[in-house]
Amino acid sequence: MRANSFIANPEAVVMYVDMNSFFASCEQQDREELRGKPIGVCPFASPTACVIAPSIEAKQFGVKTGMRLNECKTLCPDIIAVSARPYRYRWYHIEIMKVLNSYCDDVMARSIDEAVMNFTSYKLVYKDFFALARQIKDDIRKTCGDFIKCSIGIAPNSFLAKLGTELQKPDGLVRITSENIDEHLSQLRLTDLPGIARNNERKLNLIGIRNPLEMRYASPAILRKAFGGIVGNYWYSRLNFMEVDLYENSYRAMSATRAVSRDQRSNPKALEGLFVSLCTRLEQRMVKQKVFCREVSFYVKYNDFTRWDTVIKFGIPVQDASDLRKAIVSRINSFEQQHNTLIFNDKTLHIGLFISKFIRSSDVAYTLFDNTMRRDKLRWVMYDIKDRFGRDVVRKASEVIAPKEMTDAIGFGSVKDMYGSLVDKEGNTYKEVINKYLLEE
């Protein structure tokens, strides 16, 4: 499944599963008092908090993901703000993936609330894929509860299958085939296609393409002109039953960012604790992905719309949180001494780190004079102990510096951090494992 092809295959069968209002539905499943009511899941309790997941009932009032809570209340005065519980959403994700994997070996989690299944080689196993999709829906409800619903699209490739999930929500089921694709596309706008934004729409309009149906019948050369390169070929392929989206990238970058509350910004210890926690989160992710980084970017945003940032490149790849922190603090101290100012102050609004330029742990070359091999091995053993017996059974000293200043957060994007692998001495993966960290409250 994970090998793409530019050969059209209208007979392929790909199923896309998209959970409906996922975070909000999980809360309604867990809490009976929220069922049937408009709710908005927020990362923290505040009138200016961003709603990361409105319930189906809230959406009926026009509430959308990304709106501020006070803005939502103007549309839906009775909306109930619910603080996010990321560990529960990850738990539901794991249970849903178990259901999907019981039907098909070719399953790929695309995000916390989406997955794609390739049934092309299962045509002799399943005779009716509509009936199969209904059975999958039923099994998810039996496993997770009546309020956990999904829309399923069936099509010859993953893009069209995803488009099918957009055509009927909530709890939809749509199949796109070579016989009905033109009918479906003729009823859509260009911006109804996943991945086509206003800017893309303007470019397509300039070359005479006004709707998805015209886009489907445009030549690859015309689409290359509109999109400025090979991306045009990808769009031609998607709309003509070729598969170009079933792939998994390794991380190019990782980030850890948090908004700073009013109480935190006036407390130097809280700011330091938040900073340490961000570094520790990136360490944990690198250990799980078995990589070191060679570059870190750090920024602080202030409530007067100014910011301070810096980029640090490492001659020796880094994985340890204390090394990240030490490098950034050194840069901060140098700046503060030169400019007689404080980087962390009572105007601090947002803190963020980005790490990139990864190298695999197995490829790290240790120097003769600064050999950190023993420290690295100790770190990996510590995380193995945490995996076996619980996150807090053993902790580094840095983890107890105001540890509760950084609450858990979750996004709809990559779920790579949720999965890991056990590797033998030759570097071969012999077992896939779940990151238990992310399932703890």
Contact 160, 176 (CB under 8 A): yes
14-23 in b/e form (b: 16+ CB < 10 A) is bbbbbbbbbb
Burial of 420 (0-12, 13-18, 19+ CB in 10 A): buried
What are φ and ψ of residue 22, in 5° steps?
-60, -55
Residues 6+ apart with CB under 8 A from 11: 120, 156
In 241-372, which ranges are continuous DSSP H helix? 262-265, 268-289, 321-339
Using DSSP bridges, classify how beta strands 114-118 and 14-19 pair: parallel, antiparallel or unpaired: antiparallel
What are φ and ψ of residue 218, in 5° steps?
-75, 150
Contact 364, 375 (CB under 8 A): no
Does 114 qualify as catalytic in the annotation?
yes
Euclidean distance between CA atoms 218 and 225, whole angstroms:
11
Euclidean distance between CA atoms 260 and 247, whole angstroms:
36
Contact 51, 45 (CB under 8 A): no
3-state secondary structure 413-425: CCCHHHEEEEECC
Euclidean distance between CA atoms 61 and 83, whole angstroms:
20
Euclidean distance between CA atoms 354 and 349, whole angstroms:
17
What CA–CA distances, in Å, run from 151 to 16, 119, 136, 238?
8, 17, 11, 20
104-142 in b/e form (b: 16+ CB < 10 A) is bebbbbbebbbbbbbbeebeeeeeebeebbeebbebbbe
Residue from 316, 354, 310 nearest 334 by CA: 310
Contact 59, 21 (CB under 8 A): yes
**Catalytic one among 114, 243, 283, 405?**
114
Residues 6+ apart with CB under 8 A from 213: 182, 185, 186
Residue from 292, 299, 297, 329 nearest 313 by CA: 297
| Residue 440 half-sphere exposure toward CB, CA atoms < 13 A | 12
- Known catalytic residues? 114
